[in-house]
Structure 1
Amino acid sequence: MERAPLLVRLDWYWILQILGWSLVTAFVMLANGPYLAKPGAVTVCLLDGAAGLLITDLWHRFLKVRRWNTRPLDWRQIVIAFCILGPLLTACAIFISRTIVPASKNDGWIPMLLLFWSGITMAWQVCYMAAIALRRANRFESEALRLEVLAKEAELKALQAQVNPHFFFNSLNSVRALIFENQHAAAQMVDQLATLMRFTLASSYAETVPLKEELEAVKSYLAIEKIRFEERLSVALYIADGMEAVTIPPMSVQTLVENAVKYGVEQSSVGTEIRISASCANGKASIEVANRGALAKLGNSTRVGLSNARRRLLHAKGDDSSLDLVERGGWVHATLTFRTTHHAV
């Protein structure tokens, strides 16, 4: 199992506690420089720092037990630190001083000592609350990012799940149409459909697949439709060298080819050629499916399918990718465009 980074494994509470109270102890010693020559004076300063560390740690544990450290910023904790922890730490400092160092007849320093330790404990409480708030914000941010990733994955799975039933419904209709007309052709269609099912199952949990695998599935689909339409359907592939390794969302080219068959071949008495091309230039891949026809004839179901394919492309390839559908010179061109680190040779 991979270990968490060192900075994550460190106990930052104790690191900051020891560092903070060490600085306070150093300041107390610096402020009492002229008196450090007295016997036991250095020990008093060290014990004062240790008392502060102990009292604030006990307060920290109390906050955890009462779950007060899970609340939003609360000014009452600062008041408690100033009015209770400060006097308590002052009493400890006086006890330590009078136990170790001979008592002084002058007690005029006690109010200043009270103000000092109350200020220190209040500052500790402010820093503690800031650290808790920062940790809570980081936790919320991490959780929000995790939920965002899960939401995108769930949306992608939902989009892919919408593609597969629609595709197999059309394919099974094609098989059904041939069962009573040509059993041999129907058997061939079942074989091709089995190939498609294997590809669909293998790619159902993949965000992208190589274009080569996608084209194999497309060829199986077109082999099915070729049995149906015979001479009305012809196919031309123009795949640039190296493009077969480019990755795309599964069933994306298949969706475009299916639309070309449905609105190009099926609605034409003489059929049409379907041209599939793939090329790459200046770091941008372009995959196009073209057929004779007109955009005006495209139905709402096709718009939904193209919207589905476009959203899956954006998920897989980023916001600068696109799926465009245009009519030009009596041909309908559906084009996938996206950036790729793979260049055709």
Structure 2
Amino acid sequence: MQTSKAPLLARINWYWPLQLLGWSGIIGFVMLANGPFLTRPGAVATCILDGVAGLLLTDLWRRFLKGRRWNTRAVDWRQVAVALLVLGPLQTACVALIARVLLKEDDSGSWLPMLLLFWTGVMMAWQISYMAATALRRANRFESEALRLDVLAKDAELKALQAQVNPHFFFNSLNSVRALIFENQESAARMVDQLATLMRYTLASSYADTVPLKDELEAVQAYLAIEKIRFEERLSVALDIAPGMETVAIPPMSLQTLVENAVKYGVERSSSGSEIRISARHAGGRAAIEVANRGALAMLGNSTRIGLGNARKRLLHAKGGDASLELVERDGWVRATLDFPLAA
């Protein structure tokens, strides 16, 4: 499974755009509040430098927080105390110094209480906004990491389920070869060739979450060719694949598991054998793939149904919770049906 890239807006570093926008707004507010005095020489430059001083001061404070990794902590109200007791007074001192240099203000002391109140409020607002932004970013990062770990866990579970299927299948196939090798060496050789074809398919499909139904059918037909050598006339196969179904994606080895069950419980346990019917159709935006064999569900009484449970889990992983694998008995036939939305 591949994880998709985060959206562009989530990958942009918004600190500087928001920092510049915020302090530009503060400069605009200061100029608006001092509108009658802006005609004085140096007044506009003073307002601009007030904002630049605030920008530089808060950026230095942010760098300090990052250097000490304090910005990775949970909400820490001591940082608000620093804004109240340190940043506000420092910004007020800078503003007073700029006014004294550019405006030649000698009575700026009378303005200090108001300036201190205003700039302390600005710094507190900046600190709270910065803490909220870092908290939101941490939450998004934790959520993204949780989603990534969830995908990795599902991927690992899917690989484990696929790994359970392949040894089970090849164990049965090798038993078939062993049963035949002393009876008909030519047939045994053909069986080994078919098994090699299946091994190539299994190895190739083990890296995929889904495969086209056409590829799965080719593997199933190779398997049935093996079993046909073993069971001869006791095994017959009928295929009914609706047009357009060949390209439908299914979990690898899922159809194979159903066919293997049909051979084991419909052909092997019956003295007269059974026909195996494989059909695939679609209607109403859903696909249904069915494997049927003559028999009864009671014949599965001693089976742990590990293969079917495995196939069901892999189907849910690949197609979502709206998919299903049902096993029913009807009119003397046991039918295993994969049902899932085509859009999945």
Tell me the TM-score normalized by structure 1: 0.94
Distance 1:299 1:193 in 2: 29
Tell me what 2:279 maps to.
Answer: 277
Question: Does the alignment pair 1:39 with 2:41?
Answer: yes
Tell me what 1:185 maps to.
Answer: 187
Tell me what 1:290 maps to.
Answer: 292
Which residue of 338, 341, 344 corresponds with 1:339?
A: 341
Tell me what 2:24 maps to.
Answer: 22
1:299-325 deviation line (CA, Å, top 9, x unaligned):
565511101101111111221111100
Q: Which residue identity lines up with residue 112 of structure 1 in the other structure?
A: M
Tell me what 2:148 maps to.
Answer: 146
Q: Which residue identity lines up with residue 72 of structure 2 in the other structure?
A: T
In the superposition, relative to structure 1, how do residues 106 and 320 fare at CA in structure 2: closer, same or farther (>3 Å)?
A: closer
In the superposition, relative to structure 1, how do residues 21 and 210 fare at CA in structure 2: closer, same or farther (>3 Å)?
A: same
Which residue of 243, 246, 252 corresponds with 1:244?
A: 246
Tell me what 1:232 maps to.
Answer: 234
Tell me what 1:217 maps to.
Answer: 219
CA RMSD of the aligned region, Å?
A: 1.8
C-alpha displacement of 1:231 = 1.8
Q: Which residue identity lines up with residue 174 of structure 2 in the other structure?
A: L
In the superposition, relative to structure 1, how do residues 48 and 189 fare at CA in structure 2: closer, same or farther (>3 Å)?
A: same
Which residue of 321, 330, 341 corresponds with 1:319?
A: 321
Tell me what 2:88 maps to.
Answer: 86
Distance 2:41 2:89 in 1: 26
In the superposition, relative to structure 1, how do residues 286 and 183 fare at CA in structure 2: closer, same or farther (>3 Å)?
A: same
Contact 1:259–1:302, Cα closer than 8 Å, also in 2 = no
Tell me what 1:260 maps to.
Answer: 262
Q: Which residue identity lines up with residue 30 of structure 1 in the other structure?
A: L
In the superposition, relative to structure 1, how do residues 159 and 278 fare at CA in structure 2: closer, same or farther (>3 Å)?
A: same
Question: Does the alignment pair 1:305 with 2:307?
Answer: yes
1:123-160 deviation line (CA, Å, top 9, x unaligned):
01011111111111121122122222212211111111
Contact 2:100–2:108, Cα closer than 8 Å, also in 1 = no
Contact 1:159–1:308, Cα closer than 8 Å, also in 2 = yes
Q: Which residue identity lines up with residue 44 of structure 1 in the other structure?
A: T
Q: Which residue identity lines up with residue 271 of structure 2 in the other structure?
A: S
C-alpha displacement of 1:20 = 1.0
In the superposition, relative to structure 1, how do residues 236 and 144 fare at CA in structure 2: closer, same or farther (>3 Å)?
A: same
Bigger drift between 128-137 and 295-304 goes to 295-304
Tell me what 2:204 maps to.
Answer: 202
C-alpha displacement of 1:223 = 1.3
Contact 2:24–2:51, Cα closer than 8 Å, also in 1 = yes
In the superposition, relative to structure 1, how do residues 125 and 309 fare at CA in structure 2: closer, same or farther (>3 Å)?
A: same
In the superposition, relative to structure 1, how do residues 187 and 302 fare at CA in structure 2: closer, same or farther (>3 Å)?
A: farther
C-alpha displacement of 1:122 = 0.5
Identity %: 74
C-alpha displacement of 1:241 = 2.2
Tell me what 1:114 maps to.
Answer: 116
C-alpha displacement of 1:102 = 2.8
Tell me what 1:96 maps to.
Answer: 98
Tell me what 1:176 maps to.
Answer: 178
Q: Which residue identity lines up with residue 242 of structure 1 in the other structure?
A: G
Q: Which residue identity lines up with residue 117 of structure 2 in the other structure?
A: L
Q: Which residue identity lines up with residue 253 of structure 1 in the other structure?
A: L
C-alpha displacement of 1:105 = 3.7
In the superposition, relative to structure 1, how do residues 103 and 241 fare at CA in structure 2: closer, same or farther (>3 Å)?
A: closer
In the superposition, relative to structure 1, how do residues 53 and 222 fare at CA in structure 2: closer, same or farther (>3 Å)?
A: same
Distance 2:328 2:153 in 1: 32
Tell me what 2:54 maps to.
Answer: 52
Contact 1:280–1:286, Cα closer than 8 Å, also in 2 = yes
What stretches of structure 2 of length at least 5 have no aligned partner? none
In the superposition, relative to structure 1, how do residues 314 and 11 fare at CA in structure 2: closer, same or farther (>3 Å)?
A: closer
